[in-house]
A and B are shown apart, each in its own frame.
Chain A
Amino acid sequence: QSALTQPRSVSGSPGQSVTISCTGTSGDVGSYNYVSWYQHRPGKAPKLMIYDVIKRPSGVPDRFSGSKSGNTASLTISGLQAEDEADYYCCSYAGTYTFVVFGGGTKLTVL
């Protein structure tokens, strides 16, 4: 069982918006603004999409945005495109002892 809780799956039609939640605790998501999100297509290397809760690496479309409230972080994808179909994982800093925790992953289906 993963430390961070994500929905197993979400779906949306092209052009729509979807939001993926990532719920942790006061020991990880709630205490640190070091949440990141990764896109993983089968057989490919995972790709960093969001870091420090809200920041986008160079090259990531601004359709991808991150936010956080309390112990829950969220990834929102607006203007869904077929190429967005993938698994998405959240990750949070969890202090110097544990260092990092992950979510169980969310499968995004573009209908």
Chain B
Amino acid sequence: QVQLQESGPGLVKPSETLPLTCTVSGGSISPYYWTWIRQSAGGGLEWIGRIYASGNTNYNPSLKSRVTMSVDSSKNQFSLRLTSVTAADTAVYFCARIGRLDYDVPLFDYWGQGTLVTVSS
């Protein structure tokens, strides 16, 4: 059974960088895409971006200028860095696996429980 676990600081100051890591257990990073999704206080979900096992990335156009994702296959981990954060970035951040290998479409078959990140001074 594949399991994902997010980790990172629960509190980040405005204008600083938010770093999160997702550790994958019970399965290999390859050959899947892995993704970050967040849920703001309003409840809706927002896709942040995705990274392939090889390191190829695609980001949400609205966040692209502030997002960087990376992968460390040796540790079965992938990471998110979101720069210049504001209060609007306060959210629960989820990592998930994109389970489709035949078509390049969003199908999130395994998720982490999420981690709350608050942006405040």
Given contacts A2-B44, A104-B42, A104-B44, A43 and B108 within 8 Å (CB-CB): no
Per the CB 8 Å criterion, the residue count for chain B at the interface is 27
For chain B, residues 28 to 60, give those with C-beta under 8 angstroms from any C-beta of chain A.
37, 42-47, 50, 58, 60
* B residues neighboring A (CB under 8 Å): 4, 37, 42-47, 50, 58, 60-61, 94, 96, 99, 103-114
Chain B residues lying within 8 Å of A34, measured Cβ to Cβ, are 103, 105-107
Interface pair B105/A103, CB less than 8 Å apart: no
Distance in angstroms between the alpha carbons of A102 and B112 in the assembled complex: 18
Chain A residues close to B by CB (< 8 Å): 1-2, 32, 34, 36, 38, 43-48, 51-52, 57, 87, 89, 91-93, 96-105
- What 6 A-B pairs have minimum CB-CB distances, sorted nearest first? A102-B45, A100-B106, A2-B44, A45-B111, A104-B44, A34-B105
* A68 CA to B2 CA, complexed, in Å: 30
Q: Are A99 and B58 interface neighbours, CB within 8 A?
A: yes
A87 CB to closest chain B CB (Å) equals 8
B108 and A104 contact, CB distance less than 8 A: no
Q: Which of B96, B104, B109 touches A57 (beta carbons < 8 Å)? A: B109
With A43-B113, A99-B58 already in contact, the answer to whether A48 and B44 are too (CB < 8 A) is: no
Select one of A46, A51, A102, A103 contacting B107, CB under 8 A: A51
